[in-house]
């Protein structure tokens, strides 16, 4: 009997297990995860904090699904070493597990603070549900929080803390928010939302020192020399791949595990997917990490197919799909590019009456290469398909371009809404009405449709 071993119980690992079972009904499938209970919607952690939700409110149905598939889960343990030659993994439990095929989907986590004061009470992270519960337990006992780092967890924790009335200061190292991903206009829109939420943004500064008294956080000092009082410090970056079980040279790595378009590593029987992987981009030899729930799901799907002997290709596109407070945000491909071969189109955005809606398409050598959608992402799925194809600008559908740039009120049926959890773009039918409950076909989460001022729908949690 073939044994398939999956390191990581996140989206990529769970999706791969489902695909493997479909292709290999008699195989043994083992999933190793370091969380005691990994069956929850990780992208809902900001919502969990903001609304004071209970863990069961963000629980997923993955436990029952994997159980029905006969997948063995080893929860609350870690892989401590990998022997590629012997095709064997040593676990923190002491168990040695041999494999025929291995998928590394161990994800990324925030680097812990080192040095004096790094273990003080009042310093937190937001990588897991347990982290979110620890932060939630402090609400009501803290007055001021500092959040450090340009990352998705940073936005989640800011949303969560401000939703519970905690004063927040946000420290970012750049002179504007997320350069290289957001252009100057989109950065300004997000910074305006921070100010609207009464978040003090300190730009161009990093964390220099934590000030501790009797083992408890009192304040932080920035590289600009500012001292900011704080009862809570949430460190949200840098996030690094979980590869501490790898010996040097066992697999080819860079900013993650290097894989080809089949998600295969430098070893024939070992694959990698999700935030830990570094796959090539579509139509390019460039390999870069491609984080996010939807990318992880797609990579797990492709890896699972190839592990069972099928032939599948991952066509990667850089994509960031998040909710920043109440704003849906999608950045695709070369979203903040510059150069002699770069052109862009953004219409008249942002409009005075709709200041938080912004759309831009980026062209490289007259081909669609990137895009930004803020506030209304209804056409993002279509444009992502163009980027994946490397579609020439003159072959883009005029109807879609007109909907993006020529109209302030959407009247066509080319509409989609992002799932609040996995950010899968779901087609909204022309007859659908506000308040309708929809189930995401990718992650199974239920949400309701809410109509925005420009006439398009966005997805909001149903509960």
Summarize pLDDT for 324-341 with one digit per residue, the tens: 888 999 999 999 999 999
Q: Identify the pLDDT of residue 429.
A: 64
| CATH number corresponding to 112-237 | 3.50.50.60
Contacting residues for 50 by C-beta, under 8 A, at least 6 apart: 159, 160, 162, 163, 164
Residues of the chain with pLDDT under 70: 407-415, 429-431, 441-442, 454-455, 462-463
What pLDDT score was predicted for residue 283? 79
Report residue 64 as tokens.
């029952």
C-alpha 329, offset from chain centre: 12
| Start-end of CATH 3.50.50.60 domains in the chain | 3-109+240-307, 112-237
Check if CATH label 3.30.70.141 holds for domain 319-461. Answer: no
Note the helical H segments in 267-379: 293-307
- The contacts of residue 188 (CB under 8 Å, 6+ apart) are 176
Predicted confidence at residue 410, as pLDDT, reads: 47
Q: For the chain, how long is the longest CA-to-CA vector?
A: 66
The predicted-structure confidence for 396-443, as pLDDT tens digits, reads as follows 999 899 989 876 544 445 557 778 777 777 777 666 778 888 787 667
Task: Please give the span between the terminal C-alpha atoms of the chain, in angstroms, as a whole number.
Answer: 44
pLDDT the model gives residue 452: 75
Top CATH class of 3-109+240-307 equals: alpha beta
Q: Is the dihedral of CA 296, 301, 305, 307 positive or negative?
A: positive
CATH 3.30.390.30 domain extents, the chain: 319-461
User: CA-to-CA distance for 162 and 193, rounded, in angstroms?
Assistant: 12
The tokens for 242 are 């979980």
């Amino acid at each position: 009997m073939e044994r398939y071993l999956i390191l990581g119980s996140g989206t990529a690992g769970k999706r791969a297990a489902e695909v493997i079972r479909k292709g290999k009904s008699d195989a043994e499938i083992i999933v190793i995860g370091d969380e005691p209970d990994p069956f929850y919607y990780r992208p809902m952690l900001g919502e969990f904090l903001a609304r004071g939700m209970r863990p069961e409110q963000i629980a997923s149905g993955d436990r029952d699904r994997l159980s029905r598939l006969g997948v063995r889960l080893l929860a609350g343990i870690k892989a401590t070493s990998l022997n590629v030659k012997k095709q064997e993994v040593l676990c923190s439990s002491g168990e040695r597990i041999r494999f025929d095929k291995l998928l590394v989907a161990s994800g990324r986590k925030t680097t812990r603070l080192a040095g004096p004061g790094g273990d003080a009470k009042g310093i937190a992270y937001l990588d897991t549900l347990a982290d979110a519960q620890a932060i939630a337990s402090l609400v009501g006992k803290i007055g001021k929080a500092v959040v450090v780092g340009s990352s998705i967890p940073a936005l989640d924790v800011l949303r969560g803390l401000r939703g519970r009335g905690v004063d927040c200061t946000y420290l970012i190292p750049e002179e504007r928010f997320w350069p290289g991903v957001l252009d100057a206009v989109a950065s300004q829109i997000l910074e305006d939302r921070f100010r609207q939420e009464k978040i003090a943004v300190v730009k161009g500064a990093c964390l220099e020192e934590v000030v501790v008294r009797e083992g408890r956080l009192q304040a932080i000092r920035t590289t600009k020399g500012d001292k900011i009082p704080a009862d809570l410090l949430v460190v949200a970056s840098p996030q690094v791949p979980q590869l501490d079980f790898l010996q040097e040279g066992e697999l080819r790595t860079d900013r993650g595990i290097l894989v080809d378009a089949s998600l295969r590593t430098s070893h024939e029987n070992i694959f990698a997917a999700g935030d830990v992987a570094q796959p090539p981009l579509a139509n390019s030899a460039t390999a870069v990490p491609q984080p996010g729930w939807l990318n992880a799901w797609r990579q797990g799907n492709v890896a699972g197919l190839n592990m069972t002997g099928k032939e599948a290709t991952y066509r990667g596109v850089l994509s960031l799909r998040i909710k920043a407070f109440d704003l849906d945000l999608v950045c695709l491909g070369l979203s903040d590019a510059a150069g002699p071969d770069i052109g862009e189109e953004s219409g008249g955005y942002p409009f005075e009456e709709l200041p938080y809606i912004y759309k831009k398409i980026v062209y490289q050598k007259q081909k669609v290469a990137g895009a930004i959608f803020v506030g209304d992402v209804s056409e993002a799925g279509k444009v992502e398909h163009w980027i994946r194809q490397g579609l020439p600008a003159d072959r883009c559908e005029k109807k879609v371009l007109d909907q993006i740039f020529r109209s302030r009120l959407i009247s066509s049926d080319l509409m989609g809404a992002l799932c609040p959890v996995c950010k899968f773009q779901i087609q909204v039918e022309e007859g659908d009405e506000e308040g309708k409950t929809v189930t995401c076909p990718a992650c199974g989460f239920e949400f309701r449709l809410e109509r925005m001022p420009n006439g398009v729908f966005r997805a909001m949690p149903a509960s």
